[in-house]
Amino acid sequence: MRDRSFTPSRMLIYLFVLLVAVAWLVPLIIVILNSLRSNEEIAQTSMIGWPLQWAFRNYLTAWSNFCVAQTCAGIRPYMLNSALVTIPATIFSTLLGAVAGYAISLWRFRGDQWIYGIVTLGIFLPQQMRLLPWTIVLRDTGMMNTLTGLVLIHTIQGLSFTVLFCRNYYVSIPQELIRAARIDGAGFFRIFWRIILPLSPPILVVTIIWQFTHIWNEFLYGVTFTTGQQQPVTAALIALSAAVADIPQHGVQSAAVMIAALPTLLIYLIGGKYFVRGLTAGAVK
Amino acid sequence: MTNTVAIAARTGRPATSSVMGRLPEFLTIWVPLLLSAAHLISFSLWTIWISFTPSTLVPVSGWVGLRNYTSVLATRNWNIAFDNLLLFGSAFVLLSLATGLILAILIDQRIRGENVLRSIFLYPLAVSYVVTGTVWSWLLNPGLGIQKLVQDLGWTSFRFDWLVDRDMAIWTIVIAAIWQSSGFAMALFLAGLRSVDADLVKAAQIDGAGPVRMYRRVILPTLWPITITVIVIQLQFAISTFDLVRALTNGGPGIATQLPALVVYDLMFQRGLLGRGAAAAVLMLLILLAVLLPYAAWRHLQRRRANHA
């Protein structure tokens, strides 16, 4: 168990693990290759193959003049929509979650454990239970088919995760630190700003990556509460593959898929460690 | 008059200023938490209430008892969706559990490149289900993907057309789901393997236990709490699966890969039967509770036992 030499049984382990790793990478590699093959080339052979001619133009077409549901502006407007929903909702839910997590874990107030218990139940409640009420709320407040509406939804629903992450992190900060600061006359915000926030970067990175990834990848609310030009990119991808069902353009579609997946893939490449920490933190609630 | 005001101000100031001064912090703590808690409770009750009304295109008041539930349960759509959920749920959970455990054990053999391998098995989790579903729909499409490739290579009778086969289509969703989330099981198992008591392992080694015996008798038994957690989380994912199916098969061919979440969406927004849609959503919640409540009880028992020990 403890040696790193290459015995036959260890070679078998390497072989097996490498095979699985290749299988895991194949879908990504195939989409990247297809995004660089012309539509005609794919139509003549299959979705699996090496580009005969590198069609970098696919990315340009996918980005700015591809047609989705009667408008031909590529997926750029939808990428922008996704960014305009994801970035504010990530910032709001993380900040509010950090303050609430700090209050619950270190400040303590009457009813804190109750409200914490209810808020974290949101991790389990299926989206389907909230679809109709959100529809009615958005319609009555005039936020149906707006990005503001999606920001509101993702901020409120994201709190279930951000409060959980931050509370579990702050709980390990010694209470004496807060008590000493209070004796020195520091108030709620001052302590948060001066003591808690400087200790927070690790958990804030985990929370931000988690929220960004989930909101960017979200589909159900996007497709239910927005239409046409207001849709986030996940919903636009589905509209796109429906729109081209008759005359498939798999090269350009692959490029569109790559562009849509790129933001979260890049974040994963850079901050994978923190992403995994979020995954396991959510699991042990 | 001025006197009384002055006195009131003098005596009252410390109290009012501290209440007023604490108002901002009070609001920052309570407003987000109350909004979150209130939306969870009121939205759930709201959906449950709608499920008992005769609402169709718009929510209306009225009481139809369990009629929405009985009519949803009587549809072929729901029954196929429920059967699919049972098959998809158990196949996906068992296979991703096995894949995750095997990968975790192998990666735990102090192999080179562990970090790279871990990243490879986990990257699908960073990608949206829409992207995963779309890509797998291409790979599994008999006229485009694997089948076409193998036939072009010369094996012309090769068949791999599960995507368009009514009986096998649900397995394409199992494949894509395993690809997407086995890494999650692996990550949790690996964390579990790394926290196995080193003394326990050493003692077993001194007793002369080989690697197979070591895993079967010493290491794996310590992993079962993690196994249960993984099962519950994967089941929760299976029950609410929507995006993946929407992108991969859209419930087809026909309604062969229908799942409860798709039935809910279909009833609510495509057929405009809000009452029945809400009833289907509540049924989904009940299925979820059938998994989560025993789990919560088990967790509670475990904690109590840990506190007593």
pLDDT grade for A1, boundaries at 50, 70 and 90: very low
In a domain, A261, yes or no: yes
The answer to whether A260 touches A233, Cβ cutoff 8 Å, is: yes
Structure tokens at B170: 């649900």
The mean per-residue pLDDT over the stretch B92-121 comes to 93
By C-alpha distance, the chain B residue nearest A6 is: B111
In a domain, A132, yes or no: yes
In a domain, A260, yes or no: yes
- Which residues in chain B are closer than 8 Å to A24, comparing Cβ atoms? 120-121, 123-124, 179, 183
pLDDT grade for A55, boundaries at 50, 70 and 90: confident
Judged by CB atoms closer than 8 Å, whether chains meet at A279 and B184 is answered as: yes
Does residue A49 sit in the same domain as residue A185?
A: no
Phi, psi of A250 (to 5 degrees): -65, -30
Of B33, B117, B138, the CB nearest to A119: B33
Lowest mean pLDDT among A85-89, B112-116, B265-269: B112-116
- Tell which of B45, B131, B141, B235 to mutate to test the A interface (max A CBs under 10 Å): B131
Owning domain of residue A19: 8-57
Q: Nearest Cα to B133, choosing from B238, B266, B242?
A: B242
* DSSP category for residue A123: T
- The tally of domains found in chain A comes to 2
Task: Give the other-Cβ count within 10 Å of A150's Cβ.
Answer: 29
The mean per-residue pLDDT over the stretch B67-82 comes to 95
* pLDDT reported for residue B16: 47
- Of A151-160, B22-31, B62-71, B141-150, give the range with the top mean pLDDT: A151-160
**What would the pLDDT profile of B270-298 be if each residue is shown by its tens digit?**
999 999 999 999 999 999 999 999 999 99
Instruction: List b or e across A90-110, with b for residues whose CB sees 16 or more CB atoms inside 10 angstroms.
Output: bebbbbbbbbbbbbbbbbeee
* pLDDT reported for residue B43: 96
* pLDDT reported for residue B252: 81
Q: Is the confidence at residue B212, as pLDDT, over 70?
A: yes
Does residue A203 sit in the same domain as residue A272?
A: yes
Task: Give the other-Cβ count within 10 Å of B48's Cβ.
Answer: 15
The mean per-residue pLDDT over the stretch B252-267 comes to 93
Q: Is the confidence at residue A282, as pLDDT, over 70?
A: no
Q: Is the confidence at residue A200, as pLDDT, over 90?
A: yes
Structure tokens at A198: 């400087």
* pLDDT reported for residue A246: 67
* pLDDT reported for residue A8: 83
* pLDDT reported for residue B13: 39
Lowest mean pLDDT among A93-107, B15-29, B234-248, B286-300: B15-29
Does residue A108 sit in the same domain as residue A50?
A: no
What is the CB-side half-sphere exposure of residue B184 using CA atoms within 13 A? 29
The mean per-residue pLDDT over the stretch B42-68 comes to 91
In a domain, A3, yes or no: no
The mean per-residue pLDDT over the stretch A225-238 comes to 92
By C-alpha distance, the chain B residue nearest A237 is: B130
Q: Nearest Cα to B261, choosing from B284, B233, B282, B232?
A: B284
Structure tokens at B85: 């959920």
In a domain, A107, yes or no: yes
Q: Give the Cα separation of B226 and A87 in Å (integer).
A: 34
* pLDDT reported for residue B2: 42
- Which residues in chain B are closer than 8 Å to A37, comparing Cβ atoms? none
- Which residues in chain B are closer than 8 Å to A99, comparing Cβ atoms? 28-29, 32
* pLDDT reported for residue A201: 93
List CB contacts of A201: < 8 A, sequence separation 6 or more: none
Of A24, A129, A234, the CB nearest to B128: A234
The mean per-residue pLDDT over the stretch B230-255 comes to 92
The mean per-residue pLDDT over the stretch B138-162 comes to 88
Does residue A53 sit in the same domain as residue A82?
A: no
In a domain, A71, yes or no: no
pLDDT grade for A245, boundaries at 50, 70 and 90: low
* pLDDT reported for residue B215: 85
The answer to whether B148 touches B154, Cβ cutoff 8 Å, is: no
Task: Give the other-Cβ count within 10 Å of A171's Cβ.
Answer: 12
The mean per-residue pLDDT over the stretch A84-92 comes to 97
In terms of pLDDT, which residue wins out, A244 or A49?
Answer: A49
In terms of pLDDT, which residue wins out, B9 or B152?
Answer: B152
Does residue A89 sit in the same domain as residue A230?
A: yes
* pLDDT reported for residue A149: 96
Does residue A125 sit in the same domain as residue A257?
A: yes
User: Residue A191 is part of a domain; what is its CATH number?
Assistant: 1.10.3720.10
Q: Give the Cα separation of B49 and A268 in Å (integer).
A: 41
Mean pLDDT of chain A: 90
* pLDDT reported for residue A66: 80
Judged by CB atoms closer than 8 Å, whether chains meet at A264 and B127 is answered as: yes
Domains of chain B listed by start with CATH number: 76-308 (1.10.3720.10)
Q: Is the confidence at residue B12, as pLDDT, over 50?
A: no
Q: Is the confidence at residue B17, as pLDDT, over 90?
A: no
* pLDDT reported for residue B174: 96
Of A132, A216, A238, the CB nearest to B268: A132
Mean pLDDT of chain B: 88
Which residues 92-151 of chain A have a CB within 8 Å of chain B? 96-97, 99-100, 103, 107, 109, 115, 118-119, 121-122, 124-134, 136
pLDDT grade for B11, boundaries at 50, 70 and 90: very low
Judged by CB atoms closer than 8 Å, whether chains meet at B128 and A260 is answered as: yes
* pLDDT reported for residue A199: 93
Q: Is the confidence at residue A44, as pLDDT, over 50?
A: yes
Does residue A179 sit in the same domain as residue A227?
A: yes
Does residue A200 sit in the same domain as residue A240?
A: yes
Does residue A145 sit in the same domain as residue A98?
A: yes
- Which residues in chain B are closer than 8 Å to A209, comparing Cβ atoms? none
Does residue A14 sit in the same domain as residue A115?
A: no
- Give the percent of chain A with pLDDT over 90: 63
- Give the percent of chain A with pLDDT over 70: 95
Sign of the C-alpha dihedral, residues B156, B157, B160, B166? positive
The mean per-residue pLDDT over the stretch B38-50 comes to 96
Does residue A247 sit in the same domain as residue A176?
A: yes
What DSSP assignment string belongs to chain B? -HHHHHHHHHHHHHHHHHHHHHHHHHHHHHHHHHHHHHHHHHHHHHHHHHTTS--SSS------TTHHHHHHHHSHHHHHHHHHHHHHHHHHHHHHHHHHHHHHHHHTTT-TTHHHHHHHHHGGGGS-HHHHHHHHHHHH-TTTSHHHHHHHTT-TT----GGG-TTTHHHHHHHHHHHHHHHHHHHHHHHHHHTS-HHHHHHHHHTT--HHHIIIIIIGGGGHHHHHHHHHHHHHHHHT--HHHHHHTTT-STTTT--HHHHHHIIIIIS--HHHHHHHHHHHHHHHHHHHHHHHHHHHHHHHHHHH-
Judged by CB atoms closer than 8 Å, whether chains meet at A24 and B179 is answered as: yes
- Which residues in chain B are closer than 8 Å to A241, comparing Cβ atoms? 134, 137, 247
Q: How many CB pairs under 8 A join A and B?
A: 247
In a domain, A245, yes or no: yes
Structure tokens at B242: 């929507």
pLDDT grade for A40, boundaries at 50, 70 and 90: confident
Judged by CB atoms closer than 8 Å, whether chains meet at B243 and A220 is answered as: yes
- Give the percent of chain B with pLDDT over 90: 60
Does residue A99 sit in the same domain as residue A25?
A: no
- Min distance A125 CA to chain B CA atoms (Å): 8
- Of A219-223, A245-249, A272-276, give the range with the top mean pLDDT: A219-223
pLDDT grade for A43, boundaries at 50, 70 and 90: confident
Longest C-alpha distance within chain A, in Å? 77
- Min distance A224 CA to chain B CA atoms (Å): 8
* pLDDT reported for residue B126: 93
Sign of the C-alpha dihedral, residues A132, A134, A135, A136? positive
Task: Give the other-Cβ count within 10 Å of B205's Cβ.
Answer: 15
List CB contacts of A90: < 8 A, sequence separation 6 or more: A158, A208, A211, A212, A215
- Min distance A184 CA to chain B CA atoms (Å): 16
In a domain, A109, yes or no: yes
Judged by CB atoms closer than 8 Å, whether chains meet at A220 and B106 is answered as: no
Q: Is the confidence at residue A284, as pLDDT, over 80?
A: no
**What would the pLDDT profile of B173-206 be if each residue is shown by its tens digit?**
999 999 999 999 999 999 999 888 888 888 888 8
Q: Is the confidence at residue A165, as pLDDT, over 70?
A: yes
The answer to whether A218 touches B131, Cβ cutoff 8 Å, is: no
| Cα Rg of chain A (Å, integer) | 23
Q: Is the confidence at residue A243, as pLDDT, over 80?
A: no
By C-alpha distance, the chain A residue nearest B117 is: A21
Question: Quick one: residue A74, left, alpha or beta (phi over 0 = left, psi -120 to 50 = alpha)?
Answer: left
